[in-house]
Structure 1
């Protein structure tokens, strides 16, 4: 009996080894370079065991083969091609966009429509229709009316911070600024998307804030769930694996439906995202034919493609609309707050940059009699330089992914290769945004925080394909204007009243935390704030 078990165990081990050998030779058989994979884990060992952040792991691979146009990588057992060549990236994201229309499936839209039916997750024609439906909601004219909502949240943030400083014995406070930026972003999205007046800076136990944290801050359990759902979807469905609790789903569903119902009944009008979604459901959200290129929205702004400029009369379900509201919330809560936190860190450790930005704020303040609006804040050139550099240095979207929906010829991986490589239908490609943003070939001295890269004298030197904080091609980030505007409003209001310094616990040099997929600083985002004289 013991011998039989030994034989069976040896047989199973041999079968697994042969299977892994077959899978992991996918690239080498065709002359595509790769780092040696670990059986079953592929090239994910350092991420799974929290030795490296995903951004750093992708950058390591990017640097390992500097002469290659593309490289092989395994996410567990799934082959993914990392693209290094910018012209090839342009082909994939723009010219041959239809071959790479979709993101990978993470959340099953049948079992979890609130998270699986949003704009990020939708595929094919449904994605095109939803993009066209929503794109009129994100024009500069729509952003303009939301600035007062952002300013209100900023006033609450500054008031709360000033109160805390007054209560302190040292006339300053040391804080982890990720908390205040998350609360600010929470209040902005509550107001701009849901029409809710919150003050989570004062109401520390806000239910809305708690749900935001759960839905957008990926702890290690959620990271593992995410990886399993992306790479082993059948297993995830079998064990009914989800990223979010039923309580969170019920919260968002009731929030959106009750808000819509109340507005219909009470005939309430408020120019926010819920109103725009209600208009979309009625087919009344149309493109403004008078809109021109908004050149002052910011260097990082991405433009809408022809895909998003069609008028759509499709009728969307309530779940579809709720899913979009949830996406706005998650992106607005975590992504934007991360950019703000890293911006405050850089201003703390680069006092010359802070001084120059404060001078521009004071100049704008004097010119406009203490007022500012969408137009004036978009005209602040140094503010845009600072934010553009933050988005380069700390790219919240560390990588872009696409799924091939029809066999696609990438060409030869390098000049010595003898055969073309074909990406098969269903396989994924990854574009390492973080690695490009830290490549000295495209950004000299990349580890220096230097807003002057984006000055009028220098920005023409930047290859626009190498700078992609909001993605590339028709599937770029629909909310780039909203994000840029919100970050600028927050920095403007905070720096008007407060000075930012390094605290004793400020991470210098800064390192990425490996505890989450999100972009977080190891040890926290600690800064010191005192009242500006």
Structure 2
């Protein structure tokens, strides 16, 4: 009996010791976890005194996520509507601040300040911010939008001659051919329809049009995506431009932990799909050089730019030869940039423009009158580049659509050196410091009553010759020397297909046509939840 009691007593002592050891370990673990949580909290809010110290209006941020709503990251709120409301909320401030996760971002809403940052003090704000973190290991790091400082200036100078009006005229027939194919597709659908009109989801339609234009202009391929519904070029392009939850998560991780993501070699973009386009360009260039093929497209113009660059380098003194040459990789990077810019931006711009035309019949009727007049003048001959660019009301309609629905909803600049930005009277408006990220909220500025009277209405007359808007308030393609180099091509694309569509069809609201796009567009894609629906009715 004593033995049993002794054993029980010993067991109890050991059990107490074991429990104490476990509790000690838990206390240590909880202590370490508490320290880790405190450190994480301190790290997450370390920059959250920036706006207060600088006297910039802002809302109180949440730890780690800042002022970015979690729903907003994953498409749960109308982002464009929120941008407009945020800008109006700070109507009395030239600058307001938003913490994007941990990082402070200065939003500029004063027109004079935008002019200073984008043009007059450009040398202090020559670079974009953010793109290089996500693309630094990709060939896109060599594209014009990602390059910085002197290398950007060199590439811009090399590429500028490829985007003049005369070079756009060379490529016009390629784009016009795609526009005519787009019209033929709708005519075929109308023939199959029992009614005199059809309802069409135009996001898919204009994506196919943009795909064909990019394929022929930037990659030297002829692809009819209206007939070849599931062609590889379109399928891979759509997957690259699609913003998934995983791609959003990777972008957030890149913003929070750029070094770790680089170490783990995790990229936001799918490198295998980018390699597909890389192979296309390499094969096309090799074939053309071996067979002396000349085709009036972007690859040809970029090859010309490459040859010109080599000639310039040979003619320069030895002191100037530190500038790098224009390599095949540089050329490929620009082709990929044109793909990403043209694929989504052009299709979205056309969706918004045709949406406005179907809801504004008076505007559409007036545009049709001008288009019909030009068509009759041509007397059966194809539309020319000269005729297209001289159509004044078409120009006004396109500009107003770009005002109300700018393809670039915002643009950014990174400050390279401390500077006080002062107005014309010498009064300081804002002190920018090295490393500051300045955001210009283009979409919100275009919807601001301070800049445009009755901004929600669609009124092309704003852009009549006697009603010219100051250029600094109209920023659909950015501002200053770092604006979009391909804006002429984008305008040519948009006008070409709009001319053909309005000439051949009445654009009418369909049953599913959204009546409140700002509320229906949620998340990062510029598309309403039920799509862009239009009714096409053949003109007599």
- Give secondary structure in 1 for the equivalent of 2:184: helix
- Note if contact 2:159-2:305 (Cα within 8 Å) is conserved in structure 1: yes
Per the alignment, do residues 423 and 57 of structure 1 end up closer, same or farther by CA in structure 2, a change over 3 Å counting? Answer: farther
The structural deviation recorded for 1:420 is 7.8
Match for residue 31 of structure 1? 55
- Note if contact 1:109-1:117 (Cα within 8 Å) is conserved in structure 2: no
The reply to whether residue 433 of structure 1 matches residue 430 of structure 2 is: no
The reply to whether residue 398 of structure 1 matches residue 409 of structure 2 is: yes
Q: Deviations over 1:98-157 (max 9, x none)?
A: 111111132458863322211111111111111011111111001112111111111111
Q: Deviations over 1:452-481 (max 9, x none)?
A: 11112322xx23211100111100010111
- Note if contact 1:103-1:403 (Cα within 8 Å) is conserved in structure 2: yes
- Whole-angstrom distance in 1 between the partners of 2:409 and 2:159: 25
- Give secondary structure in 2 for the equivalent of 1:474: helix
- Whole-angstrom distance in 2 between the partners of 1:197 and 1:130: 28
The reply to whether residue 120 of structure 1 matches residue 129 of structure 2 is: no
The reply to whether residue 497 of structure 1 matches residue 521 of structure 2 is: no
The reply to whether residue 280 of structure 1 matches residue 308 of structure 2 is: no
- Whole-angstrom distance in 2 between the partners of 1:369 and 1:313: 52
Match for residue 99 of structure 1? 124
The structural deviation recorded for 1:47 is 2.0
Show the 5 A alignment for 1:412-451: 422-451=431-460
- Note if contact 1:276-1:285 (Cα within 8 Å) is conserved in structure 2: no
The reply to whether residue 327 of structure 1 matches residue 352 of structure 2 is: no
Match for residue 344 of structure 1? 354
The reply to whether residue 529 of structure 1 matches residue 539 of structure 2 is: no
What is the aligned residue count? Answer: 504
- Note if contact 2:74-2:245 (Cα within 8 Å) is conserved in structure 1: no
- Note if contact 1:146-1:192 (Cα within 8 Å) is conserved in structure 2: yes
Match for residue 488 of structure 1? 495
TM-score, reference length from structure 2: 0.88
- Give secondary structure in 2 for the equivalent of 1:122: coil
115-124 or 515-524, which moves further after superposition? 515-524
Q: Deviations over 1:349-396 (max 9, x none)?
A: 111111111111000111122331111111111101110010011112
Match for residue 465 of structure 1? 472
Show the 5 A alignment for 1:249-398: 249-283=274-308, 314-370=324-380, 371-398=382-409
Q: Deviations over 1:263-291 (max 9, x none)?
A: 0111101121101111122226999xxxx
Q: Deviations over 1:55-105 (max 9, x none)?
A: 334333322221111112111001111112111111111111111111113
Larger radius of gyration: 2
Match for residue 307 of structure 1? none
- Whole-angstrom distance in 2 between the partners of 1:480 and 1:2: 63
The structural deviation recorded for 1:248 is 1.1
- Note if contact 1:183-1:200 (Cα within 8 Å) is conserved in structure 2: yes
- Whole-angstrom distance in 1 between the partners of 2:487 and 2:456: 24
- Give secondary structure in 1 for the equivalent of 2:199: strand
Match for residue 26 of structure 2? 2
Unaligned runs of 5+ in 1: 288-310
- Give secondary structure in 1 for the equivalent of 2:128: coil
Per the alignment, do residues 286 and 38 of structure 1 end up closer, same or farther by CA in structure 2, a change over 3 Å counting? Answer: farther
- Note if contact 2:74-2:248 (Cα within 8 Å) is conserved in structure 1: no
- Whole-angstrom distance in 2 between the partners of 1:34 and 1:379: 46
Per the alignment, do residues 71 and 242 of structure 1 end up closer, same or farther by CA in structure 2, a change over 3 Å counting? Answer: same
Match for residue 14 of structure 1? 38
Q: Please tell me the root mean square deviation across aligned C-alpha atoms, in Å.
A: 2.5
